[in-house]
Structures are given as structure tokens and as C-alpha cells.
Amino acid sequence: MDQSAEALERRIDELRTAVRQAVLAGDRARARGLRAELRRAEREWDNAVDGLADQVEPVTPLLPIREQVHNALTLLGVPAAPKLVIAVHETFFAGEIVPARLTSLRRDEERSFRSAPGSRPYYLCSALTADLLAPARGLMAVSTWPLARRIVGPLSARVDFLTAAIRIAERTERSPGAERLLWRFAANIPGATTDFADVKPVDVARAARAELAVHEDADRSHREAAAERARTQLDDAAQLFGSRLRVVSPGVVNE
């Protein structure tokens, strides 16, 4: 690993210690500032590691990319952005997902479904927005999930974040080396840890479940209502990949 990445790793460790000390001292303003600095350092570390990856020969994946993505989404159990899908796969599974290949994956899945509906056991599809039943930008889902789970409403981002945190915490207990990913979730869940240098999966899961209980019922109600609308308004393909919004010219009325 090059010097910049190693220096960033040392800086990240120092910032985590500083965050913990600020939290214990009750200095919330300093803790917020340090956390922001820590997130910047982590982004720089990610970029540095990506740069190293460009310098080595690509590794042939053990599984096709759609199976790799399916494995990561199945572990999470909720719609997720490509960056989280890649992070989960790298943490818990063998092989490598090339980010650039995710760009066209959903379009390929939609073309496959429309040309031969139901010919595959599952499809990688879009999460749908609860208001417009349109594709939720950047969120991937699995066709075999209940329709309500593939819909995102006002509370769904937080609910899905907490659900993913629980799933990752449960898996981390059996998968050494996943602490870094778990820490990213713990940092954004109140009460998940008091020591950012020693994040415990059981504490993260407990804190996530406590907050999830506050939002889960309202979110489920909103999602199920939207799912019912989707069943009556959308065909099979649109229920997986979203409705197509059309621009209406002035003076033209759609019937």
C-alpha cells in the first residue's frame, strides 16, 4: 500500500480516538467537527485504495456480477445504493465488483425481463418511490422481495439504514474483519457505541432495533399503501423497474 493510504489510515485511527475522547468529555461540537473530518479522511482513503486497484491486473470474479450483487442485497435485505452493495460484497464475499459495470446492469436486467418475462429466478430491479412509483435514483432491489419492501417512502431511508445495520451486525459476529463497515453504521446510530475504537456488533444491533421500533410501523403503512397503488396502476415490468414519467406539453391534457 502506498504512503498516502498508510498515512490516511494512521490519521483515521487518530481521529477515531479523538472522537471517542470528545464524546466522553461531553464536547458535542468538537465531536461533530471531528466526525466530519473523519468522514473526509475515510473518503480520501477510499479514493487512495481505488487508485491502487487501477494499478493491478483485474481479478476475474468467481461469480457473474448479477450474482455478486444479488448476494450483497440479500445480506442487506433492503434496497441499497451501489456503493453500499460494493462495500458489503468486498467485506463478506469473495471476488470483486467493478463499479463501472453496475451502471448498465439494471438496464440489462430490464431488457431481459421485457424480452422474456419470468425466465430468470430473480431480477435486479429498481426500488420505487412511494409518491410517483418511479425508479428511486441509485437504489437497487431484488424482484423476489415483497413489493412493499421495494418501495421507499419518507421514512424508508432511515428504516432501511437501521435494518441494514442490524443485518451487518449479525453477520459481523461471524465474520472477523467486518468491523470497519460496522463502524460506519454505528457512527450514525445514537447509543450504538461509547467507544468508537471498539464497536461491538451486539450494541449496534440493540441501538438500531430501539430506533427502528419508533419508525417501523409508520414506514410499513406508507409502503403498503403505495404497494397497493402499484398493483392496480402498474404492469409487471413497471412494478419491477418503475413507471415512465412523461413530459406533457402545455395545453395537452392526458386522459
Domain-located, residue 212: yes
Distance between CA 96 and CA 252 in Å, rounded?
49
Map residue 99 onto helix, strand or coil.
Answer: helix
- Strand positions, DSSP E, 71-182: 124-129, 135-142, 151-152
Q: Of 220, 167, 165, which is closest to residue 191 (Cα–Cα)?
A: 165
Instruction: Clarify whether residues 111 and 226 are in a common domain.
Output: yes
Domain-located, residue 253: no
Distance between CA 127 and CA 71 in Å, rounded?
17
Instruction: Clarify whether residues 224 and 184 are in a common domain.
Output: yes
Q: What is the pLDDT of residue 48?
A: 78
Q: Which amino acid is at 239?
A: Q
**Ordered per-residue pLDDT tens for the chain, 255 residues:** 445 777 877 888 888 888 888 888 888 888 889 888 888 888 887 777 767 655 655 554 467 899 999 999 999 999 999 999 999 999 999 888 888 888 889 889 999 999 999 899 999 999 999 999 999 999 999 999 999 999 999 999 999 999 999 999 999 877 767 888 999 999 999 999 887 678 899 999 999 999 999 999 999 999 999 999 999 999 999 999 998 754 434 444 443
Distance between CA 210 and CA 204 in Å, rounded?
10
Neighbours of 240 (CB within 10 A): 25
Q: State which of 11, 33, 56 marks the end of a domain.
A: 56
Domain-located, residue 250: no
Q: What is the pLDDT of residue 241?
A: 95
Domain-located, residue 73: yes
Map residue 188 onto helix, strand or coil.
Answer: coil
Q: Of 7, 5, 72, 39, which is closest to residue 196 (Cα–Cα)?
A: 39
Instruction: Clarify whether residues 29 and 68 are in a common domain.
Output: no
Q: What is the pLDDT of residue 55?
A: 60
Map residue 20 onto helix, strand or coil.
Answer: helix
pTM above 0.85, yes or no: no
Neighbours of 38 (CB within 10 A): 20
Q: State which of 56, 72, 101 marks the end of a domain.
A: 56
Instruction: Clarify whether residues 2 and 61 are in a common domain.
Output: no
Instruction: Clarify whether residues 182 and 218 are in a common domain.
Output: yes
Distance between CA 229 and CA 191 in Å, rounded?
37
Axis crossing angle, helix 179-186 with helix 156-172, rounded to the nearest 10: 150
Q: What is the pLDDT of residue 54?
A: 57
Instruction: Clarify whether residues 182 and 62 are in a common domain.
Output: yes
Domain-located, residue 94: yes
Distance between CA 82 and CA 97 in Å, rounded?
10
- Phi/psi for 135 (5° steps) reads -60, 130
Dump the DSSP string for 95-141. S---HHHHHHHHHHHHHHHHHSTT-SS--EEEEEETTT-PEEEEEEE
Instruction: Clarify whether residues 223 and 108 are in a common domain.
Output: yes
Map residue 223 onto helix, strand or coil.
Answer: helix
Q: What is the pLDDT of residue 19?
A: 83
Nearest 5 degrees, angle CA 209-CA 219-CA 240? 110
Q: What is the pLDDT of residue 62?
A: 60
- The three cell numbers of residue 27 are 464536547
Quote the number of domains for the chain.
Answer: 2
State the residue range of the domain holding 46. Answer: 1-56
